Amino acid sequence: MDNLNAQYWQQRYRDGYTGWDIGHISGAMRHIIDQLPEEAKDLQILVPGGGNGYEVAYLWSKGFKNVWLLDWALAPLEEFQNRYPDFPPSQLIHLDFFALTGEYDLILEQTFFCALNPDKRKDYVRKMNSLLSMEGILRGVLFQVPMFPDRPPFGGSVEEYRTLFGEIFEVVYFQDCAYSEPARLGTEVEFKVRRKK
C-alpha cells in the first residue's frame, strides 16, 4: 500500500470520495472534548490527520485557542479556512505527520491511525510519544474490528493496541466506546494513554 500518500488523500477529497467524513463532530469526540476541564482551555491541542477538522472547530467554538489541525491533504485545510476565516492560518499545518516536530499537551485521534498502512503503526506510536509534553495525553477512538486487509480503514483489536501502545505509553484505558456514531457503534474503542514518567 505504497500509494497511501498525500496525493492519494488529496484526490479523495477532490473526488468527494470521503466515506469516513460524517460532516460533523462525532459523538465520541464530542464526549471526549466535553470532559475536558475548564483549566484545559490553555492546553496545546493537536488533531493530526484531522481532515475537515470538526473537532478543531468544536474546540475553537468552546474557547480552546491553542488548537492545531494537521493534514497532508490541502483540500480539507483550505475548506476549513473558508468555513472559519477567523481561524489562524498558522494553526492549519499542511505537513506529513511524521515530519512534524513540537510539543502538545493533548493529541486527539480519530480515523487517522486506521488510514495509515499497518506497517507504520510502531512509527505512529513513537511519533505520538515524541510530540507529547511530559504530562501529555493521547486520546481518541480506534476501530476494534478487522475492517479491510488491503485498504483503509485498517482495523485491529484491543489486544493488539494494548501491546503496541503499552510498549511506550502508560495505558490509562481502552474501553468500548459508548458514544459512537450509529454506523460505528460496537466497532470502536475509546482510549487514553499518557507519556510514561
Ligand X SMILES: C[S@@+](CC[C@H](N)C(=O)[O-])C[C@H]1O[C@@H](n2cnc3c(N)ncnc32)[C@H](O)[C@@H]1O
What does the binding site for ligand X look like in residue numbers (CB under 6 A)? 9, 20-21, 49-52, 70-73, 76, 96-98, 110-112, 115-116
Considering the complex, state which of residue 87 and residue 112 has its C-beta at the smaller distance from ligand X: 112
Considering the complex, state which of residue 126 and residue 196 has its C-beta at the smaller distance from ligand X: 126
> Looking at the chain, which runs of residues are DSSP E strands?
45-48, 67-71, 92-94, 104-110, 132-143, 169-176, 188-195
- Please report how close the Cβ of residue 170 comes to ligand X at its closest, in angstroms: 24
Considering the complex, state which of residue 9 and residue 64 has its C-beta at the smaller distance from ligand X: 9
- Please report how close the Cβ of residue 76 comes to ligand X at its closest, in angstroms: 6
- Please report how close the Cβ of residue 140 comes to ligand X at its closest, in angstroms: 9
Helix ranges (H only) for 62-103 are 74-83
Edge-to-edge strand ranges of the sheet holding 92-94: 92-94, 67-71, 45-48, 104-110, 132-143, 188-195, 169-176
Give the whole-angstrom CA distance, residue 61 versus residue 27.
Answer: 16
Considering the complex, state which of residue 37 and residue 154 has its C-beta at the smaller distance from ligand X: 154
Contact by Cβ (8 Å): 26, 108: no
- Please report how close the Cβ of residue 169 comes to ligand X at its closest, in angstroms: 20
